Amino acid sequence: MTHPRRFQAAKVLITGASRGLGASMACAFAAEGAELIYIGYRVRESEARQTAAAVGEAGARAELLGFDVRNPEDVTRAFEHVGKTSGALDVLVNNAGVTRDSHFPLLDEEAWQDVIDTNLNGAARCCRAAVRAMWRARAGAIVNVASAAGTTASPGQANYAASKGGILALTRTLAAELAPRGIRVNAVVPGLIDAGMTTRLDHRMLELRRAQIPLARLGQADEVARAVLFLASSDASYIVGEALTVDGGLSL
């Protein structure tokens, strides 16, 4: 398959890129001409190295970037390193995320805070750090990975749903603030995707949810990756503050 070279010579940073959706995105950017892809990860270094190897096979240079999005100092150091090693950042994809599911009366403070601090606060920290470089260049694209849980009720996931709903609100507001400086901010909203967190769901629950999807199947990681690449590319040059849903019709 021949890919368009929409990201020729681009520098891209993807958080949570050691596996699943993030790894698929990294390889997709590489296939479309990206020059350097930073593989953001927190603890899964061996898997991050596998992603980096796949990126190399797809034609791009990969660099591991280990940092914790929950730690402001870690985020600052990581983006300072990006500035020193590449001098620019064209695309940021905020994909890092965790779940700690429990019915709300049983959800303890630590589980609530961990999910909010990773999924929402972590994305905000990375946006702030990336914008410093993009602001000077008056160009750049940020794609935040939200979730269908942020737009529809998701019992047992109050913390996760709140974090992803916050991502959508953050995306709209940053889009309005940053568009005048040439920085486009959008979000992708995956449904049930056969990768990452979905693979850890109870199979009975998964089958019940699958039956509700009009396309009658789970999505694939590369289908989300293609949506991310579209939003980050010049093909979406007049699109800001949007949430592109990729869920097979589940939210209809």
DSSP assignment of the chain? -PPP-TTTT-EEEETT-SSHHHHHHHHHHHHTT-SEEEEEESS-HHHHHHHHHHHHHTT-EEEEEE--TT-HHHHHHHHHHHHHHHS---EEEE---------GGG--HHHHHHHIIIIIIHHHHHHHHHHHHHHHHT-EEEEEE--GGGTS--TT-HHHHHHHHHHHHHHHHHHHHHGGGTEEEEEEEE-SBSSGGGGGS-HHHHHHHHTT-TT-S-B-HHHHHHHHHHHHSGGGTT--S-EEEESTTTT-
- Name the catalytic one among 38, 41, 160, 238: 160
Query: Catalytic annotation on 41?
Result: no
User: What positions carry a catalytic annotation?
Assistant: 160
